[in-house]
Amino acid sequence: MQQASYVHGASAVPLIGDTIGSHLDRIVARFGERDALVVPRQQVRWSYRELRERADRLAAGLLALGLQPGDRVGIWAQNCAEWVLVQFATARAGLVMVNINPAYRATELDYALGKVGCSALVLTPGFKSSDYLAILAEVVPELAQAAPGALAAARLPLLRHVIRLGPERTPGMLNFDEVAQRADAADLARLARVAATVQFDDPVNIQFTSGTTGAPKGATLTHHNVLNNGFFIGEAMRLTAQDRLCIPVPLYHCFGMVLGNLACVTHGAAMVQPGEGFDAGAVLATVQDERCTGLHGVPTMFIAILDHPRFADHDLSSLRTGIMAGSPCPAEIMQRVMRQMHMEQITIAYGMTETSPVSFQTAVDDPLDCRVGTVGRVLPHLEVKIVDGDGRIVPRGQPGELLTRGYSVMRGYWGDEDRTREAIDAAGWMHTGDLATIDADGYCRIVGRAKDMVIRGGENIYPREVEEFLYTHPKVLDVQCVGVPDPKYGEELCACVILRPGMQADAEEIRDFCRGRIAHYKVPRYVRFVDAFPMTVTGKIQKFVLRARMAGDLGLAAG
């Protein structure tokens, strides 16, 4: 009888039954004087004891403003020390932190704040090309005439408080530092009473998924969801209080907030921020100066670091581990990171926002081929099955949709029961929309998104497979494959290639490289050379945008 594609993460290590606030207390008791947060550009170097003290004062200040447990507090800012304080302060006070994408503009901001009913918004004045103050003024014109804390906005009736970072003052807004300064002994005593009532199944975070169609959905995550996921992610990396993790990925996304901050905090490790946003040079300098032992990033970040002109000038010998995730991880890049960056214990993680986010992760001692060619095995206390189009579990090795169940599955999409039911079935399985296989040893391979699979004349082509092959071409720096319309076959494969600096190639050279080495129907019909890929702010490649762009460039209309 064939083995079924079902796995569960048996473990002797129990789930954590704490809230984030109570668990932070436990960590302070063990590692209170160790570095918790290091942000060199802000001259921040806080111990765990100082981090808790600052977070508690902010939490007490937020309650003093009149916010109640369960109220939603948006944060719209780049990576900074204040972002981390908001994460732990809201958790302590029973508030729900709402992560606002730094790339949002007026329409998206208006939607996010309104959808979940934010009572307060913490924002930075601006980041990169975005003037956040001007964007917010467009959404809430009443702010300019409002007294701080007394906003009455027609479009956002629940929004009362706007709190800005930085020393300058803006009409209608409180300054971030003065919120904590307002907290007195009575406020701190009230915080202690409130914190004691918070339960680990309470919502603590809402993250808007960057859906390719329709309005973004607010995945609602609990203390239990993210705290346990952060802990078991750190376990897979073998994190200890001796580790110092460089976190250049955005905090507003699960990668930074859970795989970064919570993996560190559950192990007493140091969170190190190299900058407001990703900069390869800043990452190299920070790893060297702070003697970081771990580094997180999406594949495009690691490619940029490896190809930085001053890469060889930096001492990265302190590195040992980290996570590459966020989009498919090319085996060639993984091998270069392990070899050239001393990250012999780097891991790959796979998941989605709705599952807090990680379901699978490689172990530091997995065989090399499993560490570069799979996303590892299921994490403890989680279940996964691979099903066909009829919902039946498929045999090991056969591709199908990946479903996951367990402590990590979100409570649902905020205020959207219909879309929640579409995502989580009656048996509690989260439908990921990802195509995957599980082998006899339990290792998982992601073969693509169901919607990204290319069906050429009845033959299924998984773009990831062709991409992995093309990464072995000596002139190819990065590559993405998408399906484009074709009147005869329905779809044809288009390879979008970024060449290494100084290299030249034509489409026929790329196709010749494929012929005789992969199946004929997988050889890209079209090869286009590009300078960059359309991406989200988290580094995920937007294949639906790339697909539409290529179809347009090639003059191909959907059939």
Between CA 42 and CA 31 the distance in angstroms is: 23
The pLDDT assigned to 558 comes to 53
Between CA 151 and CA 173 the distance in angstroms is: 9
Asked which of 434, 449, 464 is the last residue of a domain, the reply is 449
Confidence of residue 360 (pLDDT cuts 50, 70, 90): very high
Point out which residues pair with 123 in neighbouring strands: 76, 164
Is the pLDDT assigned to residue 80 strictly greater than 90? yes
Query: Which tens digits make up the pLDDT trace of 91-107?
Result: 999 999 999 988 888 88
The pLDDT assigned to 212 comes to 41
Asked which of 171, 198, 225 is the last residue of a domain, the reply is 198
Sheet of 358-361, strands arranged across = 44-47, 35-39, 270-272, 244-246, 294-297, 321-324, 345-351, 358-361, 377-378
Look up the CATH number of the domain holding residue 343. Answer: 3.40.50.12780
Clarify whether residues 185 and 292 are in a common domain.
Answer: no
What value does the CA radius of gyration of the chain take, rounded to a whole number of Å?
24
Give domain status of residue 289, yes or no. yes
- In angstroms, the Cα distances linking 508 to 279, 306, 493, 531, 532 are 35, 28, 14, 19, 21
Q: Stretch 343-355: mean pLDDT, rounded?
A: 95
Clarify whether residues 408 and 392 are in a common domain.
Answer: yes
Q: Environment class of residue 347 by beta-carbon count within 10 Å: exposed (0-12), middle (13-18) or buried (19+)?
A: buried
Is the pLDDT assigned to residue 388 strictly greater than 50? yes
**How many structural domains comprise the chain?**
3
Q: Is 460 helix (H, G, I), strand (E, B) or coil?
A: strand
Tokens of 393: 């579990």
Clarify whether residues 248 and 389 are in a common domain.
Answer: yes
Report the percent of the chain where pLDDT is more than 90: 83
Give domain status of residue 206, yes or no. no
Give domain status of residue 30, yes or no. no
Is the pLDDT assigned to residue 273 strictly greater than 80? yes
Clarify whether residues 384 and 517 are in a common domain.
Answer: no
- In angstroms, the Cα distances linking 209 to 84, 136, 430, 449, 489 are 21, 21, 15, 15, 33
Domain that holds residue 90: 52-198
The pLDDT assigned to 55 comes to 98
Asked which of 418, 449, 480 is the last residue of a domain, the reply is 449
Look up the CATH number of the domain holding residue 489. Answer: 3.30.300.30
The pLDDT assigned to 210 comes to 60
For the chain, the average pLDDT equals 94
**For residue 364, what are the contacts with CB-CB under 8 A and spacing of at least 6?**
236, 237, 238, 321, 345, 347
Confidence of residue 300 (pLDDT cuts 50, 70, 90): confident
Q: Where are the alpha helices (DSSP H) in 140-268?
A: 176-182, 185-197, 223-237, 254, 263-265
Clarify whether residues 394 and 526 are in a common domain.
Answer: no
- In angstroms, the Cα distances linking 524 to 123, 341, 556 are 45, 33, 15
Q: Are 115 and 98 in contact (CB under 8 A)?
A: no
Between CA 84 and CA 17 the distance in angstroms is: 22
Q: Is 91 helix (H, G, I), strand (E, B) or coil?
A: helix
Give domain status of residue 303, yes or no. yes
Q: Stretch 411-421: mean pLDDT, rounded?
A: 96
Point out which residues pair with 37 in neighbouring strands: 46, 271
The pLDDT assigned to 354 comes to 96
Amino acid at 351: G
Clarify whether residues 59 and 156 are in a common domain.
Answer: yes
Q: Stretch 290-301: mean pLDDT, rounded?
A: 94
Give domain status of residue 362, yes or no. yes
Clarify whether residues 157 and 192 are in a common domain.
Answer: yes
The pLDDT assigned to 374 comes to 92
Q: Where are the alpha helices (DSSP H) in 127-203?
A: 132-139, 176-182, 185-197
Give domain status of residue 134, yes or no. yes
Peptide bond into 357 cis (omega under 30): yes
Query: Which tens digits make up the pLDDT trace of 456-481?
Result: 876 778 788 899 889 999 999 999 99
Give domain status of residue 211, yes or no. no
The residue that leads in pLDDT, 505 or 130, is 505
Query: Which tens digits make up the pLDDT trace of 170-222?
Result: 999 999 999 999 999 999 999 999 999 999 999 999 999 864 445 789 999 99
Clarify whether residues 142 and 223 are in a common domain.
Answer: no
Q: Stretch 311-318: mean pLDDT, rounded?
A: 98
Q: Stretch 380-397: mean pLDDT, rounded?
A: 96
Q: Considering Cα of 542, then 547, then 548, then 549, what sign does the dihedral take? A: positive
Query: Which tens digits make up the pLDDT trace of 28-70?
Result: 999 999 999 999 999 999 999 999 999 999 999 999 999 999 9
Look up the CATH number of the domain holding residue 147. Answer: 3.40.50.980
The pLDDT assigned to 559 comes to 41
Between CA 271 and CA 273 the distance in angstroms is: 7
Clarify whether residues 379 and 421 are in a common domain.
Answer: yes
Clarify whether residues 278 and 250 are in a common domain.
Answer: yes
Q: Stretch 330-339: mean pLDDT, rounded?
A: 90
Q: Name residue, tokens 């932190």.
A: 97
Tokens of 143: 């702010």
Clarify whether residues 342 and 359 are in a common domain.
Answer: yes
Clarify whether residues 140 and 236 are in a common domain.
Answer: no
Give domain status of residue 11, yes or no. no
